[in-house]
Structure formats: C-alpha cells, structure tokens
Amino acid sequence: MTILISLVAGMSSRFGGKPKQIERVGPNNETLIEYSINQSLSINPSKIVFVTNKNTEHLFKQIFKDLYKGIKVEYVVQYYEQYRKRPWEL
C-alpha cells in the first residue's frame, strides 16, 4: 500500500494569506497542488492524504473532493494548542 501525503497546513502568510498551493500555475490551468499531485500519481498511490488546517481544508476539498482520478482522498486537520512562535521571532 502506497499513501501519498501532502502537507498543506501552512497559512501562506508570506504569500498574502492565500494558500500558494491553490494558485493556478500549470500548463492546463491546474493549481500548484494539482500539478504536484498529478506528477506524483506515477507511484500509483492507494490513497492521497492532505494534512491541512481548519481554515483552508474546504479549499482542498473543492478541488479533490473524496475521490481524485479514482484514488481515495482523506483530510487530516492539524490543530495547534497554543500560538506557535516562528523561529525568527524574538
């Protein structure tokens, strides 16, 4: 069993707050995450898992739903117990 896991929980604060993964960049107007996942399908995964956050999960569900190109898709929401300081914050 091969599971393709994509870590997409970042808030893209340096990208203006819109998740960069849903920016359209592909030659066929695919989003960055679609382009990336499509490139990875050659490993024939049995499942795709997105590790996302509660604020952006719906954006990935709009694109991939529960089945993408015949492959089951699951979503895992990453939660933080408290505010997390970035490494460069003092």
pLDDT of residue 88: 65
Residue with the two structure tokens 């989003």: 31
The pLDDT, as a whole number, for residue 12 is 75
Q: Is the dihedral of CA 75, 21, 56, 87 positive or negative?
A: positive
**35: amino acid identity, one letter:** Y
Q: What is the pTM of this model?
A: 0.83
User: What residues in the chain have per-residue pLDDT under 50?
Assistant: none
What residue ranges do the domains of the chain occupy?
Answer: 3-77
Q: Give residue 41's pLDDT.
A: 95
Whole-number pLDDT of residue 18: 79
- For the chain, how many residues are written? 90
Tell me, what's the pLDDT at 14?
Answer: 78
* Structure confidence at residue 89 (pLDDT): 59
